[in-house]
Structure 1
Amino acid sequence: MTQRIAPHAESIATHSRGTQEPSTMSQFNNVARSIIITLGLALTACGGTAGSDTILSTAHPELTPVGESVSYAPVSIHTVIRKTKVSAGEDLHVECLYLDAEGIRVDGPAPIVETVPEASYTMLADVAVVRPTTAGTQIVRCQTPDGELVDLEGVSVIVDAGLPHSWFIEDLGEDCYHEGIHLPIDVTVVDTWGNTVPNAQVTLDVYPSEGVTGDLYQGLRFNDEGVYDVSIMIEGDLAPGATIEAHVRAVHVDETGP
């Protein structure tokens, strides 16, 4: 009789062990689920949630993981920036974001960044530091090295001209002029990269001021004879290392002219 009971007892013991000790696959699933939940919390704590200063590409993916990734394979790439406007030569930080089929943030191959017009950039960890130098609109988009995943729309950044670096002045071509002549003045201020600096603080001074009308934009008209010192200066901050000297000329005005 003991021999008949033993198999039954062994069966019960085996069944109990199965209840108390999950299978290897079940343990793996539980561990994976814990890792995903922990990753989601970490992303949120480290700025994973899109804030008001975060600009995403057209797809507007959510940065907070939702659900559990099944494959962990990226199916799309998106461009993320923190600024919509920079000055020429200013660093623009660009992050390339991978999402899987469930819209969850996942890892992917080291991306490359395309810029239009072309701008240099360097990779620092997972962030590309782009330095645009052409004033206007800069398009930035992420893609994989093999071109399989491309953020076709990318993001647009407004690039303003930098600080004044130098200028070009087209003014008086002669030293002596006929009384009553109108003389146009054209001043173009550019930054380090040759972009025209709009609204530069350029001033015009004429001494003596009697007998002279006009300004920097309309040009000058000398109505009386005499010798006039014309000075064109730039005020405000300049680009690092730049020196712009005042432009000074002596203008002779005579009733009979040259």
Structure 2
Amino acid sequence: MMDYKSPAEASQLGGLRIALTAGVPAPWSMAARYMFDVKGIEYIPVLQVASEANEELVAWTGHRNAPVVVLDDEPPRTNWADIIELAERLNPEPPLVPADPEQRIRMFGLCNEICGAGGYMWNARHLMMAPLMNSSDPGLSSMRQTMGKAYGYSEQAAAAAPALVAQVLTLLAGELEAQQTRGSRYYLGDSLTALDLVWASFSNTLRPLPEEVNPMDPGIRKVYSSMGEFAKPPDILFEHRDFIYRNHLTLPLDF
């Protein structure tokens, strides 16, 4: 596990602090970290616990979830696009946002299809939550209420989710196939962008990296693997993920 500061401790410090979900390779947290990691930007990891109230974090930042990125006295950032733009400001090299405006629009648009509201993970989460939300176990009532309210779960949303998940995965695979045809291993152009890092992070919710490099909770691994078995994503998505980890990120994962 990473060496986390508590939110109370972090609130008294300066510099760059990032609240991250501890003990699990949470995709939004991993993606946020990677924007700074590949640029060599140092930060203080701050503890956030999944599905809990995180009162200290709320008292400091106003947010319960992770990631929350705080730089000195600037307002906390939670939106994935704002986090990317902050990383670019702090260190422009290597650039993770294309200079070409059309490619830049495409990158932010595809990132949104993965991690934005209504995108891949938003809908995949409805599917993952369905057993919890349909459970009659009274011990899970508090979690059902918290998760349902936070993520807008409904039976209608869960029913619509499979088609929306498939739509995004087909789109992403098509992008990689087109790039492969022109001789590139990346989503855009011929170099790493934030989109590659976002997909590397979120791909683990379909086909987690092996246990020896990703020592995650067995229950969560089962949920993620079941999602992959259900969605049947194309192999090219994971060939890309493995390439990005081999060439740009660090294994084993720590969280």
TM-score interval for Structure 1 and Structure 2 normalised by the shorter chain: under 0.3
Query: Which of structures 1 and 2 has the larger relative contact order (alpha carbons within 8 angstroms, sep 6+)?
Result: 2
| TM-score for both structures, normalised by structure 2 | 0.21
| TM-score for both structures, normalised by structure 1 | 0.21
* Structure with greater Cα Rg: 1
The structure with the greater share of residues assigned to strand is 1
